């Protein structure tokens, strides 16, 4: 097990801004609608439970959540079957690899919107598979513990594994809390195991993590890349944006301020 950072730190910084965007609520509603296809009871539908927890953390009203579930079950006039998950890949300024996951009911519209966002911000939309080999899809669980000693954390994680829990691939500790990374298929078991170990789970998700980072040293390239990522995340059809961007922390904070 080892620490990890890179784009995860940037995503946390940008999350405060994302929470104020109208596109976020549209995106979260779609995720709930699609997840509800497999059943409307969160207790028996982990994907739906995850989508609801994510929506509540972002402040999506309960009425919106209920409408999205009803729509997914066919009680709200249909529409869930119209959406499909599509992944797009491309390059940002300085050769940064970018993965975009979308929920769309019109591939042509979504591809056109993405292509425009890339081209206007110094990047280009690529072919399927052009950058995905640089990433691995993992389970990520965030914990509330902010002053946990690393040695104590290791003891708890190892004890969880020895008790039959899922393997932990990496972890990180900082002022925001703890992030624990596991295999893609282990998301539900990982957050359950961490709770049983006495840790407080804040939220969890599947996330693409870059195996190799692309470090940007030039301020203008970094500025353009952040602008590109912002533009992509503001699109209604976009579900998530991941990049292998790495940059100087002080410069990054200055540009994000």
pLDDT for the residue 155: 93
pLDDT of 71-103, one tens digit each? 888 875 555 567 888 999 999 999 999 999 999
Q: Could you tell me the domains of the chain?
A: 13-82 (1.10.10.200), 84-126+213-241 (3.30.70.980)
pLDDT for the residue 4: 41
Between 76 and 218, where is the model more confident?
218
Rounded to two decimals, the pTM is 0.80
Between 101 and 249, where is the model more confident?
101
- Reported in sequence order, the residue ranges of the chain that DSSP labels E, i.e. its strands, are 84-91, 97-104, 124-125, 135-143, 168-174, 177-183, 201-210, 214-216, 238-243, 245-247
pLDDT for the residue 168: 94
pLDDT for the residue 58: 82
pLDDT > 70? residue 186: yes
Which pLDDT band holds residue 248 (cuts at 50, 70, 90)?
confident
Average pLDDT over residues 167-175: 88
Q: Angle formed by the axes of helices 187-196 and 150-162, to 10°?
A: 110
pLDDT for the residue 127: 94
Segment of 14-28, 88-102, 202-216 carrying the highest mean pLDDT = 88-102
Which pLDDT band holds residue 59 (cuts at 50, 70, 90)?
confident
pLDDT > 90? residue 108: yes
Give one word for 34, left, alpha or beta, with left for phi > 0 and alpha for psi -120 to 50: alpha
């Amino acid at each position: 097990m080892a620490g990890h950072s890179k784009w995860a730190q940037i995503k946390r910084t940008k999350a405060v801004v994302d929470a104020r965007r109208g596109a976020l609520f549209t995106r979260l509603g779609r995720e709930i609608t699609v997840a509800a296809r497999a059943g409307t009871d969160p207790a028996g539908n982990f994907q739906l439970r995850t989508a609801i927890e994510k929506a509540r953390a972002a402040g999506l009203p309960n009425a919106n959540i209920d409408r999205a579930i009803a729509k997914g079950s066919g009680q709200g006039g249909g529409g869930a079957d119209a959406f499909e998950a599509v992944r797009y890949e491309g390059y940002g300024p300085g050769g940064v690899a970018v993965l975009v996951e979308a929920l769309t009911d019109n591939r042509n519209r979504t591809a056109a919107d993405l292509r425009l966002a890339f081209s206007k911000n110094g990047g280009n939309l690529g072919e399927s598979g052009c950058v995905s080999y640089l990433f691995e899809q993992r389970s990520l669980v965030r914990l509330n513990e902010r002053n946990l000693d690393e040695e104590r954390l290791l003891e708890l994680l190892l004890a969880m594994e020895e008790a039959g829990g899922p393997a932990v691939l990496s972890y990180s500790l900082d002022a925001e809390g703890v992030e624990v990374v596991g295999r893609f298929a282990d998301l539900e078991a990982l957050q359950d195991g961490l709770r049983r170990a006495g840790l407080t789970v804040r939220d969890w998700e599947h996330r693409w993590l870059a195996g190799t980072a692309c470090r940007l040293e030039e301020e203008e390239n970094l500025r353009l890349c952040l602008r590109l990522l912002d533009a992509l995340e503001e699109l209604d059809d976009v579900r998530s944006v991941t990049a292998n961007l790495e940059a100087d922390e002080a410069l990054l904070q200055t540009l994000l301020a």
